């Protein structure tokens, strides 16, 4: 889809120089990223940035950019890389002086997003990859739909989002396999978090956060 979105320029030097840990949280829609990120923030104090939330608040702002984004999200498709990376960079810069590290939830959605992030911003430290079956994701999303008010939590869009996810996510995991920790996220949230703690505690020993 040829969508024209305004571009802003940023000086990303403070982010590069901060050397803060950067954790990407990958997983399909409804895999439990938001749920686990809340737990990670509570224990480790990282700055949680969900690209979905950043995009939805841009839509809420009523900007022209937001209206174009909403139309794409309603279709269950990926928004253009520039738009999502710009929002992320802006949010990271706003927090860089006080942050202990960044938890980036829902990005990268495709390989190019990951490569461009590392080229323009900084290297990712570790990836938490949530593995869940499409059936479980659908079930959870339909349940979430009862309260979320999200334009994309409906049966038709969920199907498209799952297709978009399965098409684009594999190359990301394969390319970054050396720093990717795959987590069985079919289980109870408490059980899942134990595995995450094991990953992050060993990372803390190495990076000293
Ligand atoms: P994501 O951010 O990956 O889209 P959410 O964290 O918003 O996923 O979770 C989607 C829905 O599934 C929510 O209603 C949440 O309460 C529920 N959920 C999340 N993790 C689990 C889990 N491990 N087991 C059962 N339900 C879960
Ligand atoms: Mg989420």
Which residue matches tokens 């499409």? 134
CB under 5 Å of ion ligand 2: residues: 33-34
Each residue's pLDDT tens digit, 94-151: 999 999 999 999 999 999 999 999 999 999 999 999 999 999 999 999 999 999 999 9
User: What is the position in ligand 1's atom list of the atom closest to the CA of 29?
Assistant: 4
Query: pLDDT (tens digit, 9 = 90+) per residue, 46-103?
Result: 999 999 999 999 999 999 989 999 999 999 999 999 999 999 999 999 999 999 999 9
Residue having the nearest C-alpha atom to atom 26 of ligand 1: 140
Closest ligand (CA of 25) = 1
Q: What is the 3 state secondary structure string of 23-51?
A: EEEEECCCCCHHHHHHHHHHHHCCEEEEH
- Ligand 1 near 29 CB (within 6 A): yes
Closest CA to 129 of 194, 80, 174, 81: 174
CA distance 105 to 188: 19
Domains assigned to the chain: 18-45+99-203 (3.40.50.300)
- Quick one: which ligand is closest to 140's CA? 1
**What residue owns the CA closest to ligand 1's atom 21?**
32
């Amino acid at each position: 889809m040829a969508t024209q979105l305004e571009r802003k320029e940023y000086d990303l030097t403070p982010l590069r120089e901060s050397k803060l840990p950067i954790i990407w949280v990958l997983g399909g829609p409804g895999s439990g990223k938001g749920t686990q990120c809340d737990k990670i923030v509570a224990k480790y104090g990282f700055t949680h940035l969900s690209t979905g939330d950043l995009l939805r608040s841009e839509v809420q702002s009523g900007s022209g950019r937001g209206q174009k984004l909403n139309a794409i999200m309603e279709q269950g498709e990926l928004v253009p890389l520039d738009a999502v990376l710009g929002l992320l960079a802006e949010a990271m810069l706003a927090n860089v002086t006080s942050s202990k590290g960044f938890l980036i939830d829902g990005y990268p959605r495709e390989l190019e997003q990951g490569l461009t992030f590392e080229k323009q911003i900084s290297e990712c430290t570790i990836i938490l990859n949530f593995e869940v079956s499409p059936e479980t994701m659908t079930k959870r999303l339909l349940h979430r739909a009862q309260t979320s008010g999200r334009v994309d939590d409906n049966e038709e869009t969920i199907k498209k989002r799952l297709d978009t996810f399965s098409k684009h996510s594999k190359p990301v995991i394969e390319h970054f396999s050396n720093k990717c920790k795959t987590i069985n996220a079919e289980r109870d949230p408490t059980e899942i978090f134990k595995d995450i703690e094991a990953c992050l505690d060993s990372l803390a020993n190495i990076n000293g956060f």
